[in-house]
Amino acid sequence: MLELYGTEIPSRLLLGTARYPSPAMLAESVKRSQTGIVTVSLRRETAGGRNGGAFFEMIRELGVRVLPNTAGCHGVSEAVLTAKMAREVFRTNWIKLEVIGNHDTLQPDVFALVEAARILSDEGFEVFPYTTDDLIVAERLLDAGCQVLMPWCAPIGTAAGPLNLSALRSMRAHFPDVPLIVDAGIGRPSHAAIVMELGFDAVLLNTAVAGAGDPAAMAEAFAKAIDAGRQAFGAGMLEPRDMAVPSTPVIGKAVFS
């Protein structure tokens, strides 16, 4: 079972709650995904005069753990303030920390990310940092107090799938005992299976499910792919070979002269 900050989570799929066609479809997607955690952006849901209170109440009624995030923040002070507001609203010390540094790629500002992570960890938050696949940044985040890392596999919302498998493999090998959750860029269930086969602990999705023709069916498909990838990793997979190897043994084969 997945354990994050001392809490056991029944599913290895974390689901975002933005951009669904309707609240009913969001609820059905959460149900069919069997997720134990949903992410919620305090900033997005309260911006532009939205009825954030009603939305947050609906999220609570889903009966899953809420992971608030700081989506849309572009600086340390902004992210820290948003995290504190989210703690008041959702009564949780968990926070998915996003500090965006580039408007086009939505790549995190890793310098600000580490600084914000240190501040929030010192104030009792349990931080889930959205980061790159850079090992040095990962080490700095762990030094700052993070016990979970959330590397991207491609820019947010691109659905491009894992662009740098070597980097993801290196991260898994370098941090064997740290929970690693792939966040951002996954577009298909096969992408999720690939990263789970590398030994990652979980996957966080939003756009790939919310933007599907049938979000609930897609959420279920991702849940199955993640389970399959995790089971395959645990079973021990064959590595690629340079030469063909027959599956039928040749020893004892009849010889005709």
With vertex at residue 144, the alpha carbon angle to CA 143 and CA 149, rounded to the nearest 5 degrees, is 80
Q: How far apart (Å, rounded) are the C-alpha atoms in residues 46 and 42?
A: 6
At 2, phi and psi to the nearest 5? -70, 130
Give the Å distances, CA to CA, from 169 to 1, 165, 200: 22, 6, 9
Is-contact 125 84, C-beta < 8 A? no
Q: How far apart (Å, rounded) are the C-alpha atoms in residues 201 and 199?
A: 6
Residue type, 198: L
Strands (E), 18-142: 37-41, 65-69, 94-97, 126-131
Is-contact 209 29, C-beta < 8 A? yes
Active site residue 224: no
- At which residue do the structure tokens 């931080």 appear? 127
Radius of gyration of the chain (CA): 20
Nearest alpha carbon to residue 127 among 171, 73, 89, 83: 83
Which tokens go with 71? 């989506």
**Residue of 31, 96, 224, 253 marked catalytic:** 96
Write the CB contacts of 19 (distance below 8 Å, at least 6 apart in sequence).
206, 207, 210, 211
Active site residues: 96
